[in-house]
A and B are shown apart, each in its own frame.
Chain A
Amino acid sequence: MAGYLRVVLRDAAGLDVPGGRILLDGDDHGATPDTIEATLGDHRLAVTCLDRTVEPESRHVYVVACRPENAPVKRFTAA
């Protein structure tokens, strides 16, 4: 069984910022906005974006089994 996360990066106005790197436990898992697969259990999720500060710096996520359509959304904000 797998779990899924939808990772989005938005600016202060709420507009999507494409191309933020998705780091799951420090490993590169693609770019925002996207739905990624993650192993079940605890992880540390972060998004980095060139020349911009991203909040929160990282977040703890607990992944449970779900369908990719129902992936919980994890939001990050770029300054």
Chain B
Amino acid sequence: MARAPGAAARVGGLIGLVAALFTGACGLYVSDNARLEEPGAPPAPYDPGQVAVFLALSGGGTRAAALSYGAMTALEAIAVPGEDGQASTLLREVDYISAVSGGSFTAAFYAHLAGEPSRRRFDEIVDRVLHRNLELEIAVRLFANPLNWFRLPFTAYDRTQVAAGLYGATIFDGARLGDLPLRPRLILNASDLGTGLRFEFSPAAFRCLGSDHARYPLGHAVAASSAFPGAFTSITLTNHGGDARACLAERDRRALTPATREVNPLRTARAERRLQYLDRGEARYVHLADGGITDNLGLDAVLDLLSADGELGRRINQRRLKAVAVISVNATPAAPMEIGRARGGPGVLAVVLRAFDLFLWDAGAETVNDLSRTLEEKADFARVTGRDLRLFFIEVKFDDIADPARRVALASIGTRLGLPAAQVDALMAAGRELVASGRNGRNRAELDGLVEVFGSLRR
């Protein structure tokens, strides 16, 4: 059948339109990080005072977000003497909140409200995050908007961008990183797929990219931190050209020597990462995915801070810190025994998810070992050199639930961004209980010691 010339023209026109959409719109959604127009002086290091309290919230979807919220409500119930005779709570004394993936929702929600006189709005997280099915809402947003039918197949706009927009609009009131209070200092962790290292949404990291940290949307940072592989794509930042003075300090330049590499390859690798950001030819864009790929517990940030050239390590050398407390909320699933009960093995997807869980479990155990060893070294250093320094470690994890059935039930909850309300409530209750009862009661002793330190310093 002969085709009418008009039909051929229409087909050609349609192809042209699609091609124009494809080529013209590809770059539209690449990144949302603005250029830093006036760099100014680098921000001063954060001063935690004499006691530094570090709260780390792990990844694990809504399971982690709910466990974290439960633990934080328990910390809010622990009274400590505040500055100038005011009453305070342990949660309000937290200086740093480092979070990964699911834990980032709770951390960011708390931090963006922490500047308010009343923190009662923190309870709103139950309705705004924990009891929602974010997975379903992302899917609805993806397909309910006819505009997405065109831009999804032909542009870089995808479900991660939809998720970032949803989080920003419906959870964080459109807040940007610059709207966050200075205390607690929020450390949202993602993974840089180029360097394979942890990426922190900090002013320093953004200065390395010549980018304005303050204008970056909080919802996008949380979306990057929780961009679970397989479920989401990456979030991309444009490298606008970093400021070498801000990006590569003298300690980093010394880290690049062959002699340093021999005894301290990790120090060299970190400096090389920063150096890489200065080379726009190699790192024109930074592609970020779930923070759990590099550190699912959020504890690498405190290891960096405590390292001798880190913010807290220097203060220990200066004899200005009297106590460091690390509170880790770890929602990594324990070994689910029920796999061994069934004769049939798990399916393809279940094997992949289980493999990822096992990787997280091993990597997390190694990170906790590193932290324990670091704290022991610091305690030894303080004892030998006569420093008045106390160190505390409080851990919230499923392993410490006494009832085996309850432990397996909670630890087997999948990594989803939408859970039944009953599971969420059970996780919140577990988080509240484990703050005091965890580590066979050792948490209780550590908390008592920490409260005592606040009491003695603020008497």
Residues of A within 8 A of B (CB): 2-4, 22, 24-31, 34-44, 62-65, 67-69
The answer to whether A27 and B381 touch across the interface, beta carbons within 8 angstroms, is no
Given contacts A4-B381, A41-B267, could you give 15 more A-B pairs where the C-beta distance is less than 8 Å? A25-B309, A27-B251, A30-B317, A31-B318, A34-B317, A34-B385, A35-B384, A35-B385, A37-B316, A37-B317, A39-B255, A41-B254, A42-B259, A44-B250, A65-B263
12 contacts between A and B (CB under 8 A): A2-B377, A22-B317, A25-B254, A26-B249, A34-B385, A37-B317, A39-B307, A39-B308, A40-B260, A41-B259, A62-B259, A65-B263
A68 CB to closest chain B CB (Å) equals 4
* Among all A-B residue pairs, the 4 with the closest Cβ atoms: A41-B260, A25-B251, A40-B264, A37-B308
Chain B contacts for A36, CB-based, 8 A: 308, 317
Chain A contacts for B250, CB-based, 8 A: 25-26, 44
**CB contact under 8 A between A41 and B317, given known A4-B381, A25-B309:** no
Chain A contacts for B317, CB-based, 8 A: 22, 29-30, 34, 36-37
Q: Which residues 365-395 of B have a CB within 8 angstroms of A?
A: 377, 380-381, 384-385
Chain B contacts for A37, CB-based, 8 A: 308, 313, 316-317, 381
Q: Is B314 an interface residue (CB 8 A)?
A: yes
The chain B residue with its CB closest to the CB of A62 is: B259
The chain B residue with its CB closest to the CB of A69 is: B384
Q: Is B456 an interface residue (CB 8 A)?
A: no
Q: Which residues 264-307 of B have a CB within 8 angstroms of A?
A: 264, 267-268, 307
A69 to B383, CA, bound (A): 10
A79 to B316, CA, bound (A): 29
Residues of B within 8 A of A (CB): 249-251, 254-255, 257, 259-264, 267-268, 307-309, 313-314, 316-319, 377, 380-381, 384-385
The answer to whether A27 and B314 touch across the interface, beta carbons within 8 angstroms, is yes
B301 CB to closest chain A CB (Å) equals 16
Chain A contacts for B384, CB-based, 8 A: 35, 67-69
The answer to whether B318 and A42 touch across the interface, beta carbons within 8 angstroms, is no
B43 CB to closest chain A CB (Å) equals 15
A34 to B11, CA, bound (A): 80
The chain B residue with its CB closest to the CB of A29 is: B317
A59 to B381, CA, bound (A): 24
A63 to B309, CA, bound (A): 13
The answer to whether B314 and A41 touch across the interface, beta carbons within 8 angstroms, is no
Most buried by B among A39, A43, A68: A39
**CB contact under 8 A between A38 and B308, given known A28-B314, A44-B254:** yes
Chain A contacts for B264, CB-based, 8 A: 39-41
Most buried by B among A4, A37, A68: A37
Q: Residue A43 contacts which of B251, B314, B381, B385 (CB distance < 8 angstroms)? A: B251
The answer to whether B314 and A29 touch across the interface, beta carbons within 8 angstroms, is yes
The chain A residue with its CB closest to the CB of B263 is: A40
Most buried by A among B255, B307, B385: B385
A3 to B233, CA, bound (A): 41
Chain B contacts for A26, CB-based, 8 A: 249-251
B261 CB to closest chain A CB (Å) equals 8
A4 to B318, CA, bound (A): 14
Chain B contacts for A29, CB-based, 8 A: 314, 317-318
Most buried by A among B249, B268, B309: B309
The chain B residue with its CB closest to the CB of A64 is: B263
The answer to whether A30 and B381 touch across the interface, beta carbons within 8 angstroms, is no
A3 to B385, CA, bound (A): 14
A43 to B385, CA, bound (A): 21
A10 to B190, CA, bound (A): 48
Chain A contacts for B314, CB-based, 8 A: 27-29
Chain A contacts for B268, CB-based, 8 A: 41
The answer to whether A41 and B381 touch across the interface, beta carbons within 8 angstroms, is no
Chain B contacts for A25, CB-based, 8 A: 249-251, 254, 309
A64 to B264, CA, bound (A): 9
The chain A residue with its CB closest to the CB of B377 is: A2
Chain B contacts for A68, CB-based, 8 A: 380-381, 384-385
Chain A contacts for B255, CB-based, 8 A: 39, 41-42
